[in-house]
């Protein structure tokens, strides 16, 4: 899944990018409030991790700006201050969850997964559609009760589709969610990954809509 990280501390940013990337999430980072505000409105993300102590435009104002502009992307707030008044202010401004520094990357990942499950209408960690299952925590998948082996990119692709059952997704969306902006991208690569995934979960699970993209389920 594609995550926007708005954090000015480069050490924290590198730690989160490495840790979350190792768990299959693509993380894009900006380091100030103004860029964070505009970037989230221009690009599509599954969730946002927002530091409140940003240079320039404060994080709470960035959050208010997103919500006023109609951005409904789930937001997880990071803060170095553990005060009830700040938490209440953040939640009232439109935040979905809150984590106080210092933190563990595994906790951030777990909270992000919970936010994305909520958006997708999933009550449990395991995603299920028909006889296809996927567990983002254990990073396992199966068909009709039989485990299947997926590469890291195939797992990301299936995870993306299972959060968007019945929706048409374009190749551009898939590229954004599988690769960082600094990685080489190719639409031909998407076709290859979709073809490989079909062979493992069933050819009918993913439909190609010519000129539009793909639909799962």
Alpha helices in 69-186 (DSSP H): 84-93, 105-120, 152-162, 171-178
Nearest to 115 by CA among 128, 130, 98, 100: 98
Taking the C-alpha atoms of residue 170 and residue 209, their distance in angstroms, rounded to an integer, is 9
pLDDT in tens, the chain (217 residues): 889 999 999 999 999 999 998 888 889 999 999 999 999 999 889 899 999 989 889 999 999 999 999 898 999 999 887 677 777 888 889 999 999 888 999 999 999 988 887 776 655 667 889 999 998 878 899 999 999 999 988 998 998 898 888 999 998 888 877 776 556 666 678 889 999 999 999 999 999 998 899 999 8
Give the gyration radius of the chain's Cα atoms: 18
pLDDT, residue 61, reads 95
* Domains, in order of start, for the chain: 2-120 (3.40.50.2300), 127-216 (1.10.10.10)
């Amino acid at each position: 899944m594609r995550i926007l990280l708005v954090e000015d501390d480069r050490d924290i940013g590198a730690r989160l990018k490495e840790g979350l990337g190792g768990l299959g999430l693509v993380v894009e980072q900006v380091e100030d409030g103004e860029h964070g505000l505009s970037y989230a409105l221009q690009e599509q993300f599954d969730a946002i991790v927002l530091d409140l102590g940003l240079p320039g435009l404060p994080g709470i104002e960035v959050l208010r700006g997103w919500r006023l502009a109609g951005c409904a992307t789930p937001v997880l707030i990071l803060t170095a201050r553990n005060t009830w008044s700040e938490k209440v202010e953040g939640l009232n401004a439109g935040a979905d969850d809150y984590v106080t520094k210092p933190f563990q990357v595994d906790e951030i990942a777990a909270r992000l997964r919970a936010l994305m499950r909520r958006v997708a209408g999933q009550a449990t960690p395991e995603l299920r559609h028909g006889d296809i299952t996927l567990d983002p925590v254990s990073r396992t998948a199966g068909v009709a009760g039989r485990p299947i082996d997926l590469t890291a990119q195939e797992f990301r692709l299936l995870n993306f589709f299972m959060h968007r059952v019945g929706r048409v997704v374009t190749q551009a969306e898939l590229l954004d969610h599988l690769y960082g902006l600094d990685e080489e991208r190719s639409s031909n690569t998407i076709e290859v990954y979709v073809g490989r995934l079909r062979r493992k979960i069933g050819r009918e699970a993913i439909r190609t809509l010519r000129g539009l993209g793909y639909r799962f389920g």
